[in-house]
Amino acid sequence: MLPVAVVGSVAAIASGAGVRIVGIVAALVVAGSCVALLAGALLPWRSTGGGDQLTTIAAFAAIAIAASLAVGLVAPRLVSLGVPDPVVVVAICVVALAAALAALERRLGAGG
């Protein structure tokens, strides 16, 4: 996850993007990585079969859509209550990371 964030941020800086855009790129990378980790922890690839891979990819898509809907419903309300945008972004990333790590810990604890 960190190498992707670094590469994305360096690319955004090299293209002349401002600090705000670099922050947005980093937040998207963190959130996307957490969604992928969560999907992989919930439905890991167990074999080389196409069905197994499609199941994990479908889980990733479903979790990404659900996360997008949740953020779309909650984030504007928090901003309208006066919470600064960066605080909302950090909170979203922390929640996504906590959910992903909890799912991974559960998977590893179950011997999966």
Q: Are 35 and 67 in contact (CB under 8 A)?
A: yes
Q: Are 104 and 42 in contact (CB under 8 A)?
A: no
pLDDT band at 77 (very low <50, low <70, confident <90, very high): very high
What is the spatial distance between Cα 77 and Cα 52, in angstroms, rounded to a whole number? 38
Given this model, what pLDDT does residue 107 score? 84
Given this model, what pLDDT does residue 111 score? 65
pLDDT band at 4 (very low <50, low <70, confident <90, very high): low
The domain tally of the chain equals 1
Give me the domain span that covers residue 42: 2-109
Taking all residues of the chain, what is their mean pLDDT, rounded to a whole number? 82
Within 8 A by CB and 6+ apart from 40, the residues are: 56, 60
Q: Are 12 and 21 in contact (CB under 8 A)?
A: yes
C-alpha distances out from residue 89 to 24, 38, 85, 96, Å:
9, 19, 6, 11
